[in-house]
DNA sequence: CTGTTAGCGCATTCAG
DNA sequence: CTGAATGCGCTAACAG
C-alpha cells in the first residue's frame, strides 16, 4: 500500500538514500541496512518501522554503491561478433537463462568480429568490474589470447578451443561434424563433392568446416578438385547463391555440395532452382547448423544440428560455478552435434 | 611497451588502484586522476611519470567507483520479451549501434512477455543506476504504465504508443500496415479473406494487425467470416501451420489469407503444399515483417517491410538525446513501413 | 599547477 | 540487539 501523500513516489524525484529512510524511521542507517539485507537480527518493532519507511519513500538500495563495497556487481559481460544471427541469439539466450537463475544480469557488447575491439571490450569489462566475462569470437589468435591472459576476471570462451592454455571453453567440434556430413554424402553415393566455404579467417565456422570436408575426402581417397572449392567472405544467403554460381562455371559439375551453413545452402538452392537443376537429383546439397530455415526450404536440408542455446547455457554455467568456487577453473566442454538427414541428399525422395 | 619484470601484469592479481599508481609515481592521487581524465592541466614531467606508472601497473580506473561519483554509469538498460526472434535482435542491434557511438553499454534483460517481470526489471534497472531504459513490450497496460511513471530514469518505449502520457516512444503503425496489406489483397481481386492472427494479448503484433485487417474489410464492405478468423497463441511456424489447417476445415475456403507474420505465413504455406493447394492460384497468402524467410519460401511472400534496426536506432537516439538534454523529453516516432508485393499474391506468376 | 580534504551510498567492523 | 565510525576507489571542490 502506497501513501498518496508522499511526493517521492511521483517519478522523477531525486533518489532517496538509506539515510533518509533511517531518519524517517528514527534509526541508524546500519539498522536499515541490516533489515534490508537480513544480515543481522533486528527487533520486530524497528523492523516494522523501517519497512514502512522504505515503503513510504519507495527506497531502493543503490546497486552501484553496494557493488563497490561487496566487490561484485552481479553482472556478466558478454561479447559476441554480431547479434543478428540465430546462432548468437541462441548463445545469448542460453547465457541469459543461467544469469537469471543466478540473479545476475548481462552486459552485451558486439565486436563485429574485430579482434582489436574484442581486446578492448575485455579491458572495459574488467574496468567495469564485471563478475565474469563470456567471449564468443570467430577467431582467437595471439593478441586476443594475451588479452585473455591479462584479464583478472574469470572468463569462458565460446566456439574455440584454446590449446595451450587450459582456459575454460565451450565449443562445437566443427571439424568432426563437417567430416560426418561429408561422409554422409559419400555414403549416399555421391562421388564428386564440392564445398561452399565461409571465410577461412573464421576458425570455427570457416576453416574447421572446410578441413573436416577435406579430411573426409582424403580418408575415402576422393580427389579434392580446386574448382569445386569456393571460399566466400560471408555466411549469407547471397554468398551461397554466388558460390553455387561460381561452382557451376567449372567445366564439370559436382554431384553434391556441402555448404558451410544452412543459410548459404538456401542461397545455393535458389541458384540451382533458377538454373533448373533439381535437388537432389541434379545435385545434392547439405548445410550446417539446422536453422529453422533448413526445414522450410524445399527440399528440406540435410544438415548438422547443434544447440547454440546449450552452448550459451553451458558456458554461463561454467562461469557461474567458477564464480562460486574459484578453485574449479573448469576445463573444456564439447557440445554434441548430430547429423540430420533430409530430402536434399536422399536420392529416393 | 610492457615491462616484463612486473608481476602485476600477469592476470589474476588483485586490482591495482589509483593509490598505488600515485605512490609509484610519487604524486598525489588527484594528480593521477587529472591526467587520466584530462580534467586539469598537469605538468609534462609528472604526466610522463604517471603515465609510465599506469603502464607498468596495468592500472585501469574502477568504473564502479567512478559511476558512484559522477552519478552516471554509461549503461542503458534494455528489456525485450525474447531474444531469439529477428525482430528483437534487430532492435538490440540498432540500440547497440547508438550506444556504441555514445560510448555507452547495454544491459540486456529478457522479460518473457511477463508484465510482472517487466515492472520488476524496471525497478532493478533503476536501482542499478542505468542512465536510461528502453522497454520493448508486447503489451503495455495499466500496471506497467504505473511502473513507468514511478521510474526516475529516462526511458523510451518501443512498439507501443502510450496515449495518455506523452511518453517518448517509437512504434510501427501495425493497424495501418495490416490495413494496407489487406487492401492489397482486395485490390488483387480476392474477395473472401481469412486471417491467421497472433495472440490478441499482444497489442502491437496481435490485436492491431487483426484490427487493421477488419477495418479494411469493413471499408470495402466485405463481410468478416468468423470461421476464417483464427487466433493463435504464438507467432511460430507451427501456429501458421495449425491455423491454416483450422481454416481449411471450414465448409468454404477463403481465397486469400493474411498471416500476422511471415513465419506464420511460411507455416501456412507448408500446410497448403501438403494439401495440394497451389499458392497463389488456389489461395493467396500474405505475411508481415519481411523477414529473410519471406523471400526464401516458394512462392515468395507478399508482406510488410519495416526495420527493427531503425526502431532500435531511433529509440536509442531519442534516449541519448534526452540524456544529453533532459528538457527535450521527446515525443512519439512512427517508423515507416512499406508493402512489398511478391508472388504469393500475384495471380499472374 | 599540485596536494589535501571531503564525500558518493552503503556494508561492516567495533563498541556499547 | 543497536548506533557510531570506517572505508570501498575515485572525483571534485578547496587550499596552497
- Find, in chain B, the residue whose alpha carbon is nearest to that of A8: B150
B31 CA to C5 C1', in Å? 14
Q: Which bases along strand D come within 7 Å of a protein CB atom?
A: 1-5, 7-13
- Report DSSP state, residue A205: I
* 3 state DSSP class of A206: helix
Q: To probe the interface with A, which of B11, B58, B236 has the most A CB atoms within 10 Å?
A: B11
The percentage of residues in chain A with a pLDDT greater than 90, rounded to a whole number, is: 87
- pLDDT higher than threshold 50 for residue A53: yes
Smallest CA–C1' separation from A36, nucleotide: C11
Q: d(Cα B77, Cα B238) in Å, to the nearest integer? A: 32
Q: d(Cα B199, Cα B113) in Å, to the nearest integer? A: 12
Q: To probe the interface with B, which of A54, A108, A310 has the most B CB atoms within 10 Å?
A: A108
Indicate if CB(A349) is under 7 A from strand C.
no
CA neighbor of B78 nearest in space, from A83, A310, A34: A83
* 3 state DSSP class of A264: helix
Indicate if CB(A40) is under 7 A from strand D.
yes
- Distance from the first to the final alpha carbon of chain B: 66
CB contact under 8 A, A149 and B64: no
DSSP H or E segment with residue A207: none
- pLDDT higher than threshold 80 for residue B222: yes
Instruction: Return the nearest residue to C11, CA–C1'.
Output: A69
Q: To probe the interface with B, which of A101, A152, A261, A316 has the most B CB atoms within 10 Å?
A: A152
Write out pLDDT tens, residues A236-266.
999 999 999 999 999 999 999 999 999 999 9
CB contact under 8 A, A65 and B60: no
Indicate if CB(A186) is under 7 A from strand C.
no
What distances in angstroms separate CA A295 from CA A91, A175, A236, B58, B188, one per listed residue? 21, 23, 17, 51, 30
Residue A49 neighbours by CB under 8 Å, 6+ apart: A25, A26, A27
What distances in angstroms separate CA A124 from CA A133, A139, B57, B158, one per listed residue? 11, 20, 16, 28
The Cα angle at residue A271 between residues A265 and A274, in degrees rounded to 5: 140
CA neighbor of B81 nearest in space, from B92, B73, B69, B70: B92
CB contact under 8 A, B92 and A73: no
CA neighbor of B156 nearest in space, from B142, B171, B146: B171
Write out pLDDT tens, residues A288-317.
999 999 999 999 999 999 999 999 999 999
Average pLDDT, chain B: 92
- pLDDT higher than threshold 70 for residue B9: no
Indicate if CB(A66) is under 7 A from strand C.
yes
Q: Cβ-count burial of A2 within 10 angstroms (0-12 exposed, 13-18 middle, 19+ buried)? A: exposed
Q: d(Cα B260, Cα B242) in Å, to the nearest integer? A: 14
Q: d(Cα A219, Cα A92) in Å, to the nearest integer? A: 37
Q: d(Cα B55, Cα B62) in Å, to the nearest integer? A: 16
CA neighbor of A68 nearest in space, from B62, B57, B13: B62
CB B131 within 8 A of CB B323: yes
Q: Pick A105's closest partner by Cβ from B65, B109, B152.
A: B109
Which pLDDT belongs to residue B3? 33
Smallest CA–C1' separation from A16, nucleotide: C9
Average pLDDT over residues A207-231: 96
CB B87 within 8 A of CB B289: yes
CA neighbor of B115 nearest in space, from B137, B84, B82, B85: B137
CB contact under 8 A, B75 and A107: yes
Give the alpha-carbon dihedral of A90, A93, A94, A99, to 10 degrees.
160
- d(CA B165, nearest CA chain A) in Å: 13
Instruction: Return the nearest residue to C2, CA–C1'.
Output: B31
Beta bridge partners of A171: A334
- pLDDT higher than threshold 70 for residue A135: yes
CA neighbor of B286 nearest in space, from B310, B270, B304: B304
Average pLDDT over residues B116-145: 96
Smallest CA–C1' separation from B28, nucleotide: C3
Residues of A with CB below 8 A from B266's CB?
296
Indicate if CB(A1) is under 7 A from strand C.
no
Dihedral pair phi/psi, residue A326, rounded to 5°? -55, -20
Q: Pick A296's closest partner by Cβ from B15, B68, B266.
A: B266
Indicate if CB(A25) is under 7 A from strand D.
no
CB A36 within 8 A of CB A30: no
- pLDDT higher than threshold 70 for residue B13: no
- Find, in chain B, the residue whose alpha carbon is nearest to that of A13: B152
- pLDDT higher than threshold 80 for residue B340: yes
CB B9 within 8 A of CB A150: yes
Average pLDDT over residues B177-187: 98
- d(CA A150, nearest CA chain B) in Å: 4
Write out pLDDT tens, residues B286-307.
999 999 999 999 999 999 999 9
CA neighbor of B254 nearest in space, from B278, B282, B275, B276: B282
CB contact under 8 A, B90 and A84: yes
Write out pLDDT tens, residues A332-344.
899 999 999 999 9
Q: Pick B83's closest partner by Cβ from A89, A100, A152.
A: A89
Neighbours of B168 (CB within 10 A): 22
Indicate if CB(B43) is under 7 A from strand D.
no
Tally C-beta pairs within 8 A across A and B. Answer: 138
Give me the domains of chain A, ranges plus CATH numbers.
18-61 (1.10.260.40), 71-173+308-336 (3.40.50.2300), 174-306+339-345 (3.40.50.2300)
- pLDDT higher than threshold 50 for residue B7: no
CB contact under 8 A, B64 and A60: no
Residues of A with CB below 8 A from B107's CB?
75, 105-108
Question: If DSSP states are collapsed to H, E and C, what string results for chain B?
Answer: CCCCCCHHHCCCCCCCCHHHHHHHHCCCHHHHHHHHHCCCCCCHHHHHHHHHHHHHHCCCCCHHHHHHHHCCCCEEEEEECCCCCHHHHHHHHHHHHHHHHCCCEEEEEECCCCHHHHHHHHHHHHHCCCCEEEEECCCCCHHHHHHHHHCCCCEEEECCCCCCCCCCEEEECHHHHHHHHHHHHHHCCCCCEEEEECCCCCHHHHHHHHHHHHHHHHHCCCCCCHHHEEECCCCCHHHHHHHHHHHHCCCCCCCEEEECCHHHHHHHHHHHHHCCCCCCCCCEEECCECCHHHHCCCCCCEEEECCHHHHHHHHHHHHHHHHHCCCCCCCCEEECCEEECCCCCCCCC
- pLDDT higher than threshold 50 for residue A12: no
A18 CA to D7 C1', in Å? 17
Q: DSSP secondary structure string, A145-163?
A: HHHHHH--S-EEEES---S
**Could you tell me whether strands B333-335 and B169-172 are parallel, antiparallel, or unpaired per DSSP bridges?**
parallel
CB contact under 8 A, A151 and B11: yes
Which pLDDT belongs to residue A5? 31
Q: d(Cα A148, Cα A165) in Å, to the nearest integer? A: 10
Q: d(Cα A1, Cα A16) in Å, to the nearest integer? A: 18
Indicate if CB(B345) is under 7 A from strand D.
no
CB A146 within 8 A of CB A165: no
Neighbours of B349 (CB within 10 A): 12
* 3 state DSSP class of A38: coil
Amino acid at each position: 500500500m502506497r501513501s498518496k501523500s508522499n511526493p517521492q513516489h511521483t517519478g522523477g524525484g531525486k533518489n532517496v538514500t538509506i539515510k533518509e529512510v533511517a531518519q524517517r524511521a528514527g534509526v541508524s542507517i546500519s539498522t536499515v541496512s541490516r533489515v534490508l539485507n537480513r544480515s543481522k537480527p533486528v527487533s520486530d518493532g524497528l523492523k516494522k518501522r523501517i519497512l514502512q519507511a522504505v515503503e513510504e519513500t519507495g527506497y531502493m538500495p543503490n546497486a552501484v554503491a553496494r557493488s563497490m563495497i561487496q566487490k561484485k556487481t552481479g553482472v556478466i559481460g558478454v561479447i559476441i561478433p554480431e547479434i543478428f544471427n540465430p546462432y548468437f541469439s541462441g548463445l545469448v539466450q542460453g547465457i541469459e537463462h543461467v544469469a537469471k537463475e543466478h540473479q545476475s544480469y548481462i552486459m552485451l557488447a558486439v565486436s563485429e568480429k574485430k579482434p582489436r575491439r574484442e581486446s578492448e571490450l575485455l579491458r572495459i569489462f574488467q574496468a567495469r568490474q564485471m563478475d565474469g566475462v563470456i567471449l564468443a569470437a570467430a577467431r582467437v589468435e595471439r593478441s586476443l589470447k594475451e588479452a585473455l591472459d591479462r584479464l583478472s576476471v574469470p572468463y569462458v570462451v565460446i566456439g574455440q578451443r584454446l590449446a595451450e592454455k587450459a582456459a575454460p571453453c565451450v565449443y562445437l567440434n566443427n571439424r568432426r561434424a563437417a567430416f560426418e556430413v561429408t561422409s554422409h554424402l559419400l555414403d549416399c553415393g555421391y562421388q564428386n563433392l564440392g564445398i561452399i566455404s565461409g571465410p577461412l579467417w573464421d576458425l570455427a565456422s570457416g576453416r574447421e568446416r572446410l578441413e573436416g570436408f577435406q579430411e573426409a575426402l582424403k580418408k575415402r581417397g576422393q580427389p579434392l578438385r580446386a574448382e569445386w572449392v569456393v571460399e566466400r567472405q560471408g555466411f549469407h544467403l547471397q554468398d551461397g547463391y554466388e558460390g553455387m554460381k561460381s561452382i557451376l562455371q567449372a567445366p564439370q559439375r559436382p554431384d553434391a555440395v556441402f555448404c558451410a551453413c544452412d543459410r548459404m545452402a538456401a542461397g545455393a538452392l535458389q541458384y540451382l532452382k533458377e538454373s533448373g537443376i533439381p535437388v537432389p537429383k541434379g545435385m545434392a546439397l547439405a548445410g550446417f547448423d539446422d536453422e529453422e530455415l533448413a526445414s522450410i526450404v524445399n527440399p528440406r536440408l540435410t544438415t548438422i544440428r547443434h544447440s547454440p542455446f546449450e552452448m550459451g547455457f553451458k558456458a554461463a554455467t561454467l562461469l557461474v560455478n567458477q564464480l562460486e568456487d574459484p578453485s574449479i577453473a573448469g576445463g573444456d566442454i564439447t557440445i554434441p552435434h548430430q547429423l540430420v538427414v533430409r530430402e536434399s541428399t536422399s536420392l529416393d525422395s
